Amino acid sequence: MFVFVWDDLQVAKGYRPVARDQLMLLPPDMREWLGAGHPVWLVIEVCRDHADLGAAHRARRTGGRGAAGYDPAMLAALVVWAYAQRVTSSRRIEQLCGTDVAFRVICGGGGGPDHVTIARFRAGLGAAAADLFASVLVLCARLGMGQVGTVALDGTKVRANASAQANRTRERLAELGRELAAVHAETDAAEDELFGPGVRGDELPAELADPRTRRERIAAALAELEAERRAAGQERDERAAQARKDLAARQDRVDKLFAAQRAKVADFEERNAAKITATGRGLREGRPVPPEEHVKIQRAARRLASAKQRAAEPGRDQEGDQPAARVRNLTDPHSRLMPVRGGGFIQGYNAQVVATADGLILATELTCDTTDNQWFEPMLRKAENAAKVMAAHRRPGPGYHRSDRIGRILADAGYLSEHNLTCHGPDRLIAVGKRRDLEKAARAGTKAGRNPAGPATRAMTGRLTTPDGIAAYRQRGHIAETPHGHIKHNMGFRQLSVRGKPRATAEWALAATVHNLFKAITTGHLTSHSLATLAS
């Protein structure tokens, strides 16, 4: 047994000194603050030399009186780096510009922009965000990325900067409008009595007046709901007219079948009576079935009765579901209540993404639609155009892809329709049900997927139950959902910071740009050497 006595220990070294009064803590050369291999240098160089920020430069005002503005290339690098570090708050970005070395390097070591400048730059990105996304995609193509042989389309719900509690029905919006109009009228009368007609005493200059008032948001939301109500009424009338035509066609078919069978019975009776009179014997052929007992006529009559019953039920659409109440959000009128996986709803947008096999976002669009079906062809066209642009900028080399065409596109059952299966474009696999159910049915040799109403759907059902179809469709989950998982889980981007579809679209394009840029960095395609090679 050993016993150590503290007094007998000899300490060889003391503590490091904490010299807080040291005059210079960092090297005088900013390039020595971070190592040459730090990714922030790549972000700075891409935004400075390779990003298309012409729209951002045109939106910035230069010249005249006042302090000089911030370079859009620096601001773009700042927000790109911030989003990559899971920081979307403009106030938090302002704080990090004074405390984080990488943020200070982006700002040039001096004082960084305040949160108002950052928020205004992000809110005013507009077309510059789309140009930035496209230029980074071209850069990835020049680096040999973008495998478009097999791509996948998928949608994901993104929370809006608005609460679901701010949704109002058309009736409630109209009531709020009347209440605000009454309040404004009372206020105007009181101010006219105090200051004189037409003068309040606190008017702002026209260039400082904010048009995004609560009253105008209510009026805009009410007008949009009214337009949708008229459009829905017109669509409902068209469906009702088509339903009446279908009923008339079904009734005509039943009447014709009934009359034809009745004629057969009458003809048989006449010929049978004539033969009995002539020979004393009836016809040897069997007696025709009466019309009311004929199987084909009974089936047609049952279908007619079912169609009449569906048409007689009020308040139901073509699929037989009760229509949901139409509402609009007062905070962000462009956002919608979106159903999410597992049940429930969020106030948000539906982001459509086409991804490549090597993890790039080839095309994206932020939509207000709660379903995906109508976005298959538009996203396919955007992806085809992006693939052509990438092919035009590829450099021959080890990663060179000769084809500029998408070989196959994969999509889940949310995009299934006869039109999407047959529209012009590359080969496609669109699920007719859940993948596990399709594979289970293929193993058991049973029926799979939805009721194959159309020929294209029936053909797709057959393809998805073959070994080749199963193996090809298994790639969809990895290709399509990996970008969504990276943006939401790794980047922490689950909610938009801005309001209104134009600004929300720009912010989502920014998030997609960050995904593509850091995909190139983490895979080793984008390095200081590769950028120097491209510049040479």
In this predicted model, what pLDDT tens digit does every residue of 75-99 receive, in sequence order? 999 999 999 999 999 999 999 988 8
In this predicted model, what pLDDT tens digit does every residue of 6-20 receive, in sequence order? 555 555 578 888 776
Same domain, 349 and 276: no
Q: Which whole number is the average pLDDT over 238-255? A: 80
The DSSP symbol for 17 reads P
**What integer pLDDT is reported at residue 321 of this predicted model?**
39
**What integer pLDDT is reported at residue 16 of this predicted model?**
80
Counting beta carbons within 10 angstroms of the beta carbon of residue 173, is it exposed (0 to 12), middle (13 to 18) or buried (19 or more)?
Answer: buried
Same domain, 149 and 223: no
Q: Which whole number is the average pLDDT over 232-241? A: 70
Q: What string of H, E and C letters represents the secondary structure of 301-345?
A: HHHHHHHHHHHHCCCCCCCCCCCCCCEEECCCCCCEEEECCCCCE
- Residue 278: give the domain boundaries: 215-327
Same domain, 304 and 417: no
Specify the higher pLDDT residue, 188 or 225: 225
Least confident of 3-7, 165-169, 472-476: 3-7
- Does the pLDDT at position 309 exceed 70? yes
Say if 243 falls within a structural domain.
yes
CA distance 51 to 525: 17
Q: Which whole number is the average pLDDT over 156-184? A: 68
**What integer pLDDT is reported at residue 446 of this predicted model?**
62
**What integer pLDDT is reported at residue 323 of this predicted model?**
40
CA distance 62 to 68: 7
Same domain, 307 and 361: no
Q: DSSP readout, 130-155?
A: HHHHHHHHHHHHHTT----SEEEEEE
**What integer pLDDT is reported at residue 298 of this predicted model?**
83
- Does the pLDDT at position 366 exceed 70? yes
Same domain, 484 and 464: yes
Pairing of the two strands 408-411 and 427-430: parallel
Same domain, 274 and 358: no
Same domain, 154 and 263: no
CA distance 175 to 164: 19
Same domain, 228 and 304: yes
Specify the higher pLDDT residue, 426 or 178: 426
**Are 40 and 105 spatial neighbours (Cβ–Cβ below 8 Å)?**
yes
Say if 426 falls within a structural domain.
yes
CA distance 205 to 208: 5
Specify the higher pLDDT residue, 303 or 492: 492
CA distance 346 to 159: 6
Same domain, 257 and 403: no
Of 272, 296, 327, the residue that ends a domain is: 327
**What integer pLDDT is reported at residue 331 of this predicted model?**
80
**What integer pLDDT is reported at residue 374 of this predicted model?**
92
CA distance 148 to 154: 16
pLDDT band at 201; cut points 50, 70, 90: very low
- Residue whose C-alpha is closest to residue 40's, from 138, 119, 108: 108
* Count of domains observed in the chain: 2
Same domain, 426 and 497: yes
Most confident of 130-134, 430-434, 463-467: 130-134
pLDDT band at 470; cut points 50, 70, 90: confident
Same domain, 398 and 471: yes
CA distance 125 to 72: 10
Say if 485 falls within a structural domain.
yes
pLDDT band at 210; cut points 50, 70, 90: very low
CA distance 145 to 519: 10
- Does the pLDDT at position 289 exceed 70? yes
- Does the pLDDT at position 255 exceed 90? no
Q: Which whole number is the average pLDDT over 55-71? A: 76
CA distance 416 to 429: 10
Least confident of 126-140, 208-222, 292-306: 208-222
Of 280, 295, 327, the residue that ends a domain is: 327
**Are 79 and 112 spatial neighbours (Cβ–Cβ below 8 Å)?**
no
CA distance 252 to 255: 5
- Residue whose C-alpha is closest to residue 119's, from 82, 68, 86: 82
Q: Which whole number is the average pLDDT over 128-140? A: 93
The predicted model scores a pTM of 0.71
Same domain, 310 and 360: no
